[in-house]
Amino acid sequence: MRSLVVALAAALAAPALITAAPAAALPPPPPPGGECNYPNCTPGIQPNVVLGSYCANTTYYAFGVTDWGRLVFCGSPRRYEPRWFRSPEMHGVKNVGDLCPALDGEVAQAPDGLFLTCIAKDNRSYWERGDASVGGGNPPPQ
C-alpha cells in the first residue's frame, strides 16, 4: 500500500515539474506603478504556446511563451491563418507614439494589450500599432 501512495504522489508531482517554466535571467517586475520594460512584467502573455501552432488574435494580447521559455507572437503571414512565431526583442508595456530610439523593429504591448512595434519614420523612432506598420500584425523578422 505504501508503494502505491508513493507512486501516486510521484505521478501527481511530475506534471508540475514538466510544465514549470524554466528560470529566466530577467530582472524582477517593477514595483507597482513603475515602468515595465521586460516581458516578465507584461500582462496577458499566454503560457504554454506551441511554436508554429495556430493562434487567434494578432492585434491585442498577441504575445505568448513556450513551455521552454521562448517569447512568441501571434502573426498572420499574407493569405495564411495566424500562427505563433519567434518574437523580436520585447520591451514590456509602452504607449503608442512614445519615442523608442535604437529599438527599430523591436516590439512592446500597449496598456490596453495592443501589439506595438518600434518604427523609424520622419527622422525619429516611435511605438506604432504592430498591424499598421507592417501589415497584418507581423513585426519585422529577426
**Pairwise pLDDT comparison (46 vs 137), residue with the higher score:** 46
Backbone angles phi, psi at 80, to 5 degrees: -120, 155
Quick check: 132 pLDDT over 50?
A: yes
Quick check: 58 pLDDT over 70?
A: yes
Residues 14-18: what's their mean pLDDT? 39
CA distance 107 to 90: 5
Helix ranges restricted to H, the chain: 2-19, 130-134
